[in-house]
Structure 1
Amino acid sequence: MFTAGEDHRVRIWDMLSASPHCSRVFDCQAPVNAACLHPNQVEIAMGAQNGVQDVAISPDGQYMAAVNNKGNCYIWSLSSSPNQKLTTLQPKLKIAAHKRYVLRCKFSPDSRLLVTTSGDGTARIWKTDDFNMWRELSIDNYWVWDAAFSADSKYLFTASSDGIARLWKLETKNPERKYTGHTKAITALSF
Structure 2
Amino acid sequence: MNIPNILTLLRVVLIPVIVVVYYLPVGWSYLAASGIFFVAGCTDMLDGYLARRWNQSTPFGAFLDPVADKLMVAVSLTMLVEEYASIWITIPAMIIIGREIVISALREWMAELGKRTSVAVSYIGKIKTAGQMGAIFFLLATPAELDTIIGRIGYGFLYAAALLTIWSMWQYLSAAWNDLMPPEESE
- With normalisation by structure 1, the TM-score equals 0.24
Which structure has more RCO (C-alpha within 8 Å, separation ≥ 6)? 2
Q: Flag the structure with higher helix content.
A: 2
- Structure showing greater Rg: 2
The structure carrying a bigger strand percent of its residues is 1
User: TM-score w.r.t. structure 2 length?
Assistant: 0.24
